[in-house]
Amino acid sequence: MVISIFPVSTDQPSIEVTNLTKHYGPVTAINEVSFSVAKGEIVGFLGPNGAGKSTTMRILSGLIPASSGIAKVCGIPVASHSAEIKRRIGYMAENNPLPEDMRVAEYLHYRASLKEIPAKQRKKRVEEVLETCDLHRKTKRKLIRALSKGFRQRVGIADSILANPEVAIMDEPTIGLDPHQILLIRDLINNLRGRCTLILSSHILAEVEICCDRVIIINQGRIVATGSPKDLRHEFIRRNQYHIRVAGEKAKLLEVLQQVDPEIDLQENLDETNDSFQTWNAYSVISGDLSEELIQRILRTNGLRLGGLTKLEPSLEDIFLSATRRSWDVTQQEAQNIQKTYQQQQENTD
């Protein structure tokens, strides 16, 4: 019987990270990272390779110590009470390492005993998890060595949610899966909603956009953006893009468009078309939907025939690129500033 010295309150965030920094020798993997995740929230961790996603997750699960800063899971500091943390989290490591020569059900039973699930409930719980992850038919008797990537990934996910953890941390759970399996895992994540707090990292942006309540974008060890995909769109994408299919002269089209937005930017879309219609990309900084007005005006103009007009929703991909590029610029600017002050100091000493 484990008696926790930490009372669980309902309003306290599941994960709380303050000014977390980790150095590997001279390399700074993460730098002054702060964020918090509310109870029951599903958060996606995005970033290019080497941005510090895995490092943050490993610190949160108590695998490696941070250089400075505080990480708390369920209100418990990870650094000083890692044993307590390990009873409350489910962790799925990057690349999902599994023992090759065990059978699926056998492995989960073994993990269940390590995770302190009482012997009487073990069998039932393993069956439940096998069913949740769609491993319950033939697969559970297979050797892990013989499983395909998608099934191995599911075994990893099954293991991480086995002990009904308060917080599940998954490092790239959808890597290497085909679209069918991704769909399955999306359902699985949706199933977990409300039952536990989930933090997952991914490269696949569409995946994160659909599953997650909130996205944290991290680049070069710093958080560059955080919020729901909708908020991020608003913050990072300043101009709207329209696809216009029109038959007619460019000058005429531009003239019409400029009546709506004088600063509109019109570019030729290089997609080939078989008919007289030509597709154009129009970019406008005016917020709100201009589609109707544009359609009206193009239709009223002689010499222009409208084939179609769509406003494009910026994907998370655009936000991601824009956010990480912005952080690049910031760091470059910082570097230039440092160099400037250094030069000034040099001049002063001379």
Residues that bind another protein (CB under 8 A): 61-64, 83, 86-87, 89, 91, 93, 95, 97-99, 101, 110-111, 113-116, 159
Task: Report DSSP letters for 269-283, one per residue.
Answer: -----SSS-EEEEEE
Minimum CB–partner distance for residue 116 and another protein (Å) = 6
Nearer to another protein, 156 or 229 (CB): 156
| Of residues 100 and 178, the one with the C-beta less far from another protein | 100
Under 8 Å between Cβ of 46 and 201: yes
CB of 99 to another protein, least distance (A): 6
Phi, psi at 220, each rounded to 5°: 50, 45
Minimum distance from CB of 171 to another protein (Å)?
A: 10
Nearest distance in Å: CB 87, another protein: 5
For another protein, the closer CB: 5 or 270: 5
- Yes or no: say if 197 and 41 are a contact pair by the CB < 8 Å rule: yes
Nearer to another protein, 93 or 212 (CB): 93
CA atoms within 13 A on the CB side of 9: 5
> What minimum distance in Å lies between the beta carbon of 110 and another protein?
6
Q: Which is nearer to another protein, 88 or 222 (CB)?
A: 88
Asked if residues 239 and 285 have their Cβ atoms less than 8 Å apart, the reply is: yes
Please give the C-alpha separations between residue 122 and each of 126, 153, 163, 338, in angstroms, as whole numbers: 6, 21, 9, 58
Report CA torsion sign: 75, 44, 127, 63: negative
